[in-house]
Structure 1
């Protein structure tokens, strides 16, 4: 709870997320790792063991891909938000120096792949980096990777947003819809990103069965009608995304 309160105070402090998941996930992610390895595509990705941050931060490669592609949308999102894949690695390293990390190298690779595809999920699902968007992405992710800590942040974070939002806004409905979308979709971790990145983003969404959302934009509409900026809710402002 202390780390959760720290996260609510500053949702940009991603190291708090790692502390929470470390405290609550138990063996969930190890079970997910075993399921990943049992999947033919997961086994391929594991045998390749490509390090994603170097690829995802290589603007020369990504910007050379077609306009309207996943790579184009990803670069636009990351550049607009002032983010890098390496930045998330650095946040994790801040957390890791404070714990006795006894994970195997194989599991570390899997955990890193989950970390390094997080911002890609923002792009594909359409959820922004406002508090409700972040919690909705986590609710989506939980259906594919498990982890009680992830679910804890999703629902506790949504409760904080609900306190801030106008009465009757379907905040928890956004979380539930995100969970349904995540359950229906294929896990991006199973896919070769170099195959997905050049493709039109709508084709990738269709390939992964990422269904449209309705509740999240409705919450934003109700917030704005009440004179509230969704991107200033819980933990300070972040920039509003532009549609891909």
Structure 2
């Protein structure tokens, strides 16, 4: 495998731009399917934190091993025929059911990401930081499976809290909490939406890092066993809010989504 620099010589430092993040968040609220706004917010807020996280991973023994494997995860995750052959109750079977139910593919997320960069004019660099960012992107939907958070508004917000606990990306945390605040406008006043994101954050911080895992082996594990091994606790506050929604005749999937 060709050795690439950790950071390309032309890669600039990205300043923190909170006002830009807020502008793009308002656009995201206006069109919850506009994934471009999610990418814009992440770029506006992650700053040097992304590089620090990437360096910590890629200089660790497990990070070096994963980088040496250089497996392209979208091909693995989109091979639904193979994943359906895994045992019933496995992470892989749960992942396929989720992705097919939601009409999603790993390649589709890559295409959205590529289109964003092509249209926005942001440069991309062929370095190890790019590989690390791609791995974070490609494992996102596995977070939903392993945490138990759905793709409803609060599920997306809470899984972004979990993502921050795992990877320290301030953009994810910003979207999660801002979306939770938006949901308070349409949910019962005592619905603990912010608490759900905070719990996701705590769970992400306490769990073993999913980005470090052998994803092929993880897909073969029984889902309950994988959650126990990784130290991922049940999303009790999220479940509490869903129960409150149903008691009040509110469809939690009809609220704004976080991304």
Residue number in structure 1 paired with 2:64: 43
Q: Does 1:13 align with 2:13?
A: no
List aligned pairs for 1:161-180, cutoff 5 A.
161-180=183-202
Matches within 5 A, 1:21-60: 21-60=42-81
**Alpha-carbon contact 1:24-1:148 (below 8 Å) kept:** yes
Q: TM-score, normalised by structure 2?
A: 0.88
Shift of 1:102: 4.6
Residues 144-203 of structure 1: CA deviation (Å, up to 9, x unaligned): 111221111111111111222111111111011111111110111101111111110111
> Rg: which structure is higher?
2
Question: Which digits, 9 at most, give the CA deviation of each residue in 1:52-72, with x for residues without a partner?
Answer: 101100112211111110000
- Of 101, 113, 131, the residue aligned with 2:123 is 101
Deviations 1:112-133 (A, max 9, x none): 1101110000011000101110
Confirm or deny: 8 A CA contact 2:156 2:257 kept in the other structure: no
**Superposed counterparts of 1:56-205, under 5 Å:** 56-97=77-118, 98-205=120-227
Aligned-partner SS, 1:26: helix
Q: State TM-score, norm by structure 1.
A: 0.93
Q: Deviations over 1:17-36 (max 9, x none)?
A: 11111111111111000111
Q: How many pairs align?
A: 236
Q: Tell me the C-alpha RMSD between the 2 structures.
A: 1.4
Distance 2:135 2:184 in 1: 31
Q: Which runs of 5+ in 2 are unaligned?
A: 1-21
Query: Residue 47 of structure 2: SS of its match in structure 1?
Result: coil
Q: Which runs of 5+ in 1 are unaligned?
A: 237-244
Displacement of 1:220: 1.0
Deviations 1:191-228 (A, max 9, x none): 11111111101111111111122100111111121111
